[in-house]
Structure 1
Amino acid sequence: MSERTILIVDDEDEIRNLMSIYLKNEGYQVVDVPNAATAMDMLKKQKIDLIILDLMMPGMNGIDACLKIREEYNMPIIFLSAKSEDMDKIHGLASGAEDYVTKPFNPLELMARVKSQLRRYYMAPEREVSSHFLEKGDLKVDGRTNEVFVRDQEVRLTPKEFQILSLLLQHQGQVFSIQQIYETVWKEPFYKSDNTIMVHMTKIRDKIEENPKKPIYIQTVWGVGYKA
C-alpha cells in the first residue's frame, strides 16, 4: 500500500467521489475538499504528496490557488479543467502545475498521470538534478535540498523551474534548444506550437534576475535556445 496522500480539490461532489474511489483502490490516502480555501487550510494541517486541482471553482480559482500554493509548497499539482485550448494549458502550467488533464477524463489515465508525477518527483533522479552545489556568480543552487539563492536571498522556484535552471547550470556554456529542455524535463514529445518553455523562462528570470530584460544568469541564443 502506498503511503502517499493525494489532495483532491473540486467543487463537484461526483468527481471527487469518483477520483477518491480510484485513488484508494491504488492504495493512496485521499483527502478531498470542495474549494481552494479549505485546501489551503488542509495543507497546513497534513502532509500532502500531490494535489489534483480543479481549474474553475467558486471563490478562489485553480490558477490563483496554484500560485498561492507555490509560495510555500513544491509537491506536484495536476490541473483538471473543462478548458482544452492550448493557451489554457500553457497558463495552467505556467502557474506552477506539472500536468493538465481535461474533463471529461478517463480515470485510468488520471491514475497513470498521478503515478508518473509521484515517480518523477519523489523517486526519479532528475528531482536531484545535481548531488552537488551549482553556482554562477551570485546564483547558487543546492541540488541536495533543492534550494536556490540569489545574492544570499532564497528564491522559491516550482519543481519544473528548478529542473530547468539546474539543467542549464549543470551544463554552463552549452546551448539547449526549447525542444531539448522540454523533452528532458517533461519526459514527453515536444510540439512546435507549445510556448511552455518560454513562459517558464520568463517566470525563472523574474525570480532570479535583477533585471529580467537584461539577464545575466540565463542567456537567450536567438534562433537556437538558452544557456547558462
Structure 2
Amino acid sequence: MDNKPYILVVEDDKPIRNFIAASLKAQGFNYIETDKGVEAIALSMSHKPDLIILDLGLPDMDGIEVIAKVREWSEVPIIIVSARENERQKIEALDKGADDYLTKPFGIGELLARVRVSLRHSTTTNNEKESLGIFKVKDLVVDFNKRKVTISNEQIHLTPIEYKIMALLCKYSGKVLTHNFIIKEIWSSPVGGETKSLRVFMASLRRKIEKNPAQPQYIYTEVGVGYRLVDD
C-alpha cells in the first residue's frame, strides 16, 4: 500500500458508488467500497481508512447508526452523501460525529473538494504540535494546543469542521464575521458556495455549547450579516 489517502465508500446505489469510486481512482486515491452498514463498520476497523464517504439510506442499517458505531473508537473524517434534505436529520448526523454533509444530487467536483478539505483538516489535527494557547470567555474554554473545548469544565466533542469554526470565532472574538468570510476560511469556497452547510454546522455547534440555543450566551447571529463570539 502506498502513502496516498485510503477512502471507504459506503453507498448502496451501485451506479453512484461506481461513479464515486471511479472519480477517486482518477484523482489517485486508494479506496474500498461496500453497500452495507455492518460491513462498513468492519472495514473501518480492519482497514483504518483516512476518510469515509457514507450514504445514510443503507439496506441493513441507518447510516447514522454507522456513524455512532465508528465514533466509539475512531475520529476518521466522515462525509455524508444522502438524499435526505431535512435539516433536523443533517444536524442529527453531525451530532453523531459526521464531519460534512452533501445532499444528492451533487457534483463530483464538489465531493472531491470536500474530501480534500476533510483530509487536510485531519492531517492538521494529527500533526499540529505547537502551543497555541487557551481562549476563555465565561464558562467556555478552548485549549488550542490540545484541541479541547469545555463548557463549565465538561468536555464538548466537536467535529473537525465545527472545531475549525470555533477556532475562527475565537480568533476574532467580539467581531462580526460575515458568512462569506467564514465560508472562505473554512471551505476555501467561492463566495456563497457553502451558505447552507454553514447554517447547519452553526446550528449543531450551538446545540453543543449553548444551554438554550434560542437565547445564546456565546455565539450571536447578526441577522443577514454573519456571526459574533462574545469576548467578555
Same fold at TM > 0.5: yes
1:1-228 correspondence runs (5 A): 1-13=2-14, 15-16=16-17, 19-20=20-21, 23-24=24-25, 26-63=27-64, 65-66=66-67, 69=70, 73-81=74-82, 83=83, 88=85, 94=91, 95-96=93-94, 97-100=99-102, 102-103=104-105, 106=108, 110-111=111-112, 113-123=114-124, 131-191=132-192, 194-228=195-229
For the residue of structure 1 that corresponds to 2:176, the secondary structure is: coil
Unaligned runs of 5+ in 1: none
CA contact (8 A) 1:2 1:27 kept: no
2:197 and 2:106 mapped to 1: Cα distance? 23
CA spacing shift, 1:198–1:67, aligned 2, 3 Å: farther
Letter in 1 for 2:123: Y
Q: Partners of 2:140 and 2:221 in 1: how far apart?
A: 17
Match of 2:85, SS state, is helix
Tell me how far 1:76 sits from its aligned partner: 2.9
Q: For the residues of structure 2 that align with 1:118 and 1:66, how far apart are their CA atoms?
A: 17
Q: How many percent identity over aligned positions? A: 32
Q: Structure 1 stretch 65-74 or stretch 54-63: which is displaced more?
A: 65-74
Measured in 2, the distance between the counterparts of 1:75 and 1:183 equals: 24
Runs of 4+ deviating beyond 6 Å: none
C-alpha distance in 2, partners of 1:33/1:168? 38
- For the aligned residues, what is the CA RMSD? 3.6
Counterpart contact for 1:79–1:100, Cα < 8 Å: yes
Q: CA deviation at 1:47?
A: 2.4
SS in 1 for 2:59: coil
Query: C-alpha displacement at 1:105, in angstroms?
Result: 5.6
What are the superposed Cα offsets for residues 22-48 of structure 1, whole Å, 9 maximum, x if unpaired?
545655442322222332333344422
Normalised by the length of structure 1, the TM-score is 0.74
Q: 1:182 to 1:38 in 2, by over 3 A?
A: same
Q: After TM superposition, give the deviation of residue 9 of structure 1 in Å.
A: 0.6
Tell me how far 1:103 sits from its aligned partner. Answer: 4.8
Segments of 5+ residues of structure 2 without an aligned counterpart are: none
Q: Which amino acid aligns with 1:171?
A: Y
Q: Distance in 1 between matches of 2:110 and 2:166?
A: 30
Per the normalisation by structure 2, the TM-score is 0.73
Verify the 8 A CA contact 1:50 1:77 in the aligned structure 2.
yes
